[in-house]
Structure 1
Amino acid sequence: MRKPRTTIAAASLLALAACSGQAPATPKSLTVWIMGDSSAHFQQLVKPFSGRSGIEVDAVAIPWDAVDQKFTTAVASGKGPDVIQIGLSKLRTFTDSGALAKLDDQTLKDHPGLAAANFLDGVGNATSVPWVSDTRVLFYRSDILAQKGITKPPATWDEVRADAKLLAGRGKGQYGYYVPQWDSALPVIMTWAQGGAVVGANGEITFDTPAFRKAVDTYTGLYTDKSVPTDADFDQIQGFISGAAPMLASGPYLAAAVASAAPQLRGKWSVAMIPGATAHTSLLAGSNLGVWNGSGNKEAALRLLDFLSTPQTQLAWYKLDGELPTAKAALRDPALNADPLVAVYARQLTDAKPLPRVPNWDGETGKALLDCLNSIALTGADRETALRDLYARTNGTHVG
């Protein structure tokens, strides 16, 4: 059995303590802000860390729709957690705020766990390290599709639209597909599927392209066909389980939720690569972990990041919460890849890219995009007027 590695920084602290005759101060607890509803699972994950280090971890759940307000308040007050989870779409905003501690080369060198980690998407940036990876794949109820004579999942968005219309004909309250009205990534994925991009050669956001217009056709067409629910509060998990919405694009976490809530459906659903006309490019999403700049427990926080970066910990997290690792060694794990669903996720990750790194995608560019599309699809707004408004609202937005 290997002996636990002592970080250089920790060793230095011990040496100083020996000279002074005092033991180094070890914090009794760390506060970690976990986004969404995974705090209970996270608390379970870090039990081995707490057992070895004597440092308790208090995982605080922050609902995704409250992230911006909570973060803004913490920055203004200077009172944040010790460690914070950061969605990739918010990474630039969080970094630009100055609220996160710098993770420079020397810092990483002092923490062998982080220095040795070979992450899927590099090391994030100078203020955070990758935590979980995510991508969107097509979920489909093979049993329900088969009832309508559909023997394989749709491979293009045109096929999605045709199959969804057929499935929606099953009766009242039955749909063919689910469009999350809050998801600004979906129309971008639809644009990539047409071989297009939403960032121009000059590094600025541009939606005024033929590929994006085709994506608009698909997005709004699903509503025109009455193939998707119009209720903003429609529950995608229950809709998939009940069969009301037997197709949707989502991440691996949905598989974990469905398997847990409806084990009787085993073998009646599966996943496939994201549909595409000229490409099957999907979203590279997920989240990073950063250390709060004002934390008085930075060394202990980095020790926690050391623990969380190991392949064993990341594989344990997948089993607990259904979120994919970012450590390449974990993604290559034979037991993980024996799962046919994971094989699809892994293949999709080889053709995936993040949303444009612009300031406040969720609150500005992404919001403008959804305002445009949902106004056309849900309220009957004039298409060309809505598109011109989108172009004006996003004009000059530069990717950093």
Structure 2
Amino acid sequence: MRRLRPAPVAPILAVSLIMLAACSESGGGADRELTVWIMGDSSAHFQELVRPFTDRTGIGVDTVAIPWDSADQKLTTAVASGRGPDVLQIGLSKARVIAGSGALLELDEETLKGHANLTARNFLGGLPAADGKAGGKAVSVPWVSDTRVLFYRTDVLAAKGITRPPETWDQVRADARLLASRGAGAFGYFIPQWDSALPVIMTWAMGGHIVNADGEIAFDTPAFRKAVDLYTGMYADRSVPADTDFDQVQGFVSGVTPMLVSGPYLAGAIASAAPELAGKWAIALTPGDVTRTSLLAGSNLGVWGTTDDRDGALRLLDYLADPRTQLTWYRLDGQLPAARSALGEVRRSPDPAAKVYSKQLDDARPLPQVPNWDGETGKALLDTLNAIVLTGANRDTALRGLYAATDGTPAR
């Protein structure tokens, strides 16, 4: 799922790489090995990231890539069996469920002693604090921050006379209709049918919320219904593909779907798949009719409670939380740092994409903090929308079912 190499992050990135190399001790094979689960389709970049750690400590790292669509099953099985990795990446939308399972090591003050990079002051403020805790006890630390922006093919849009990225969702829909008129097999926009954040972002864009004043889920609002009309309307326009197996990267690279909203990781995937497209695509703030608020997301890292190498796992977490390491990860994989000082360097970068990400982070909020967004509330939302656009379910009947299933769910 990921890849672009954004332009180097100011001079500090080069300095950081030199410092990491300098602090790496020469040394051969690993004396012991940690197993790490990283979410995504490839472990190659992460293995490159941790090579200096192994050189310096003698601790090997066996990285296992877990596709995001398999993460729930993999984590559920691990919790049930009690057998997991030494270290694992946890998406924030899943973090409360994993934290509450009791499977992770508590990261209390005594446990973190001597690991200065793992203190709370090292990390970006605003990431959902409750997601990394179980019963008030910290069990994970931030790894990457994330937001969503508009990706668009400048060359494809220009060929249809569109010289600026759309700033509102009405403009997105109109531009998508125009782009879909290019001929058979062409579309204007891509809606990931697995992405429950998009309809929430659309609701925010309409000036609404899906959490009421009592801190409960409440989809039954005018703003949400406007978002539903937008979402389903683009299918009705035939501006988006209905294929459930559609590949967003290849669709963007081929120009079949020249616009979509996604995170910084997509930039890496585009550049890796099609470096020849450099200069033919760009990013912009998420569209908005009332606001341009986008998603604040990311991933945490945790240590499996029954690890045989607690010391090694904590040393690896400390290395990954180091701002220099996080800047290297941004260069390698395009994912934004969670370390405060590292994100500050990204913000000061001359890279135009970094400036867009930084500006969007200033107007971003997390998904509602329900106990299991992906498995319950978010799933109900996607099931409802997909039923309408893919199977022809009655809009109003389907929405009433969504309201009945989710309204009143605690979201704080």
TM-score (norm 2): 0.88
Q: Does 1:37 align with 2:41?
A: yes
1:16-41 per-position Cα deviation (integer Å, ceiling 9, x unaligned): xxxxxxxxxx9711111111123221
| Residue equivalent to 2:361 | 349
Rounded Cα–Cα distance in structure 2 between residues aligned with 1:27 and 1:292: 20
| Residue equivalent to 1:73 | 77
Residue 105 of structure 1 aligns to a residue whose secondary structure is coil
| Residue equivalent to 2:410 | 398
| Residue equivalent to 1:232 | 244
Identity %: 67
| Contact 2:347-2:354 at 8 Å conserved across structures | no
| Residue equivalent to 1:48 | 52
Rounded Cα–Cα distance in structure 1 between residues aligned with 2:382 and 2:362: 27
2:199 paired residue among 187, 196, 207: 187
Residue 106 of structure 1 aligns to a residue whose secondary structure is coil
Rounded Cα–Cα distance in structure 2 between residues aligned with 1:335 and 1:272: 15
Residue 107 of structure 1 aligns to a residue whose secondary structure is coil
Rounded Cα–Cα distance in structure 2 between residues aligned with 1:264 and 1:84: 34
Q: Does 1:318 align with 2:322?
A: no
Residue 34 of structure 1 aligns to a residue whose secondary structure is strand
2:105 paired residue among 93, 101, 125: 101
Rounded Cα–Cα distance in structure 1 between residues aligned with 2:405 and 2:35: 38
Rounded Cα–Cα distance in structure 1 between residues aligned with 2:36 and 2:351: 31
Q: Does 1:388 align with 2:400?
A: yes
1:36-93 per-position Cα deviation (integer Å, ceiling 9, x unaligned): 1232211111111111111111111112122122112211221111111000110110
Rounded Cα–Cα distance in structure 2 between residues aligned with 1:298 and 1:248: 41
Residue 92 of structure 1 aligns to a residue whose secondary structure is helix
Matches within 5 A, 1:252-267: 252-267=264-279
Rounded Cα–Cα distance in structure 1 between residues aligned with 2:247 and 2:199: 20
2:67 paired residue among 54, 59, 63: 63
Report how many aligned residue pairs link the two structures: 379
Matches within 5 A, 1:181-330: 181-330=193-342
Q: Does 1:118 align with 2:122?
A: yes
> Which amino acid is the alignment partner of residue 104 of structure 1?
D
| Residue equivalent to 2:382 | 370
| Contact 2:347-2:358 at 8 Å conserved across structures | no
Task: Assess, with a 3 A threshold, how the Cα gap between structure 1 residues 356 and 27 changes in structure 2: closer, same or farther.
Answer: farther
Task: Assess, with a 3 A threshold, how the Cα gap between structure 1 residues 116 and 215 changes in structure 2: closer, same or farther.
Answer: closer
Structure 1 residue ranges, 4+ long, deviating more than 6 angstroms after superposition = 1-4
Rounded Cα–Cα distance in structure 2 between residues aligned with 1:204 and 1:341: 36
2:149 paired residue among 128, 137, 152: 137
> Which amino acid is the alignment partner of residue 382 of structure 1?
N
Rounded Cα–Cα distance in structure 2 between residues aligned with 1:358 and 1:349: 22
Shift of 1:278: 1.3
Q: Identify the range of structure 1 (58-67 vs 241-250) with the bigger mean alpha-carbon deviation.
A: 58-67
TM-score (norm 1): 0.91
Q: Identify the range of structure 1 (351-360 vs 84-93) with the bigger mean alpha-carbon deviation.
A: 351-360
> Which amino acid is the alignment partner of residue 41 of structure 2?
D
Rounded Cα–Cα distance in structure 1 between residues aligned with 2:190 and 2:205: 18
Task: Assess, with a 3 A threshold, how the Cα gap between structure 1 residues 207 and 276 changes in structure 2: closer, same or farther.
Answer: same
Q: Identify the range of structure 1 (337-346 vs 68-77) with the bigger mean alpha-carbon deviation.
A: 68-77
Rounded Cα–Cα distance in structure 2 between residues aligned with 1:346 and 1:395: 33
Rounded Cα–Cα distance in structure 1 between residues aligned with 2:347 and 2:353: 12
| Contact 2:347-2:355 at 8 Å conserved across structures | no
| Residue equivalent to 1:332 | 344
Task: Assess, with a 3 A threshold, how the Cα gap between structure 1 residues 307 and 397 changes in structure 2: closer, same or farther.
Answer: same
Rounded Cα–Cα distance in structure 2 between residues aligned with 1:370 and 1:289: 27
Task: Assess, with a 3 A threshold, how the Cα gap between structure 1 residues 336 and 305 changes in structure 2: closer, same or farther.
Answer: farther
| Contact 1:27-1:297 at 8 Å conserved across structures | no
Rounded Cα–Cα distance in structure 1 between residues aligned with 2:76 and 2:268: 32
Rounded Cα–Cα distance in structure 2 between residues aligned with 1:234 and 1:115: 41
Rounded Cα–Cα distance in structure 1 between residues aligned with 2:157 and 2:70: 37
| Residue equivalent to 1:164 | 176
User: Considering only aligned residues, what root-mean-square deviation do their CA atoms show, in Å?
Assistant: 1.9
Residue 325 of structure 2 aligns to a residue whose secondary structure is helix
1:151-206 per-position Cα deviation (integer Å, ceiling 9, x unaligned): 11000101100110011011000001000111111000000101111111111111
1:97-146 per-position Cα deviation (integer Å, ceiling 9, x unaligned): 11111112333343112127521146644111010111110001111111
| Contact 2:90-2:299 at 8 Å conserved across structures | yes
| Residue equivalent to 2:93 | 89
| Contact 1:253-1:323 at 8 Å conserved across structures | yes
Rounded Cα–Cα distance in structure 2 between residues aligned with 1:56 and 1:63: 22
Rounded Cα–Cα distance in structure 2 between residues aligned with 1:222 and 1:116: 43
Task: Assess, with a 3 A threshold, how the Cα gap between structure 1 residues 57 and 336 changes in structure 2: closer, same or farther.
Answer: farther
Shift of 1:395: 2.8
| Contact 1:131-1:325 at 8 Å conserved across structures | yes
Structure showing greater relative contact order (alpha-carbon pairs closer than 8 Å, 6 or more residues apart): 2
Higher CA-based Rg = 1
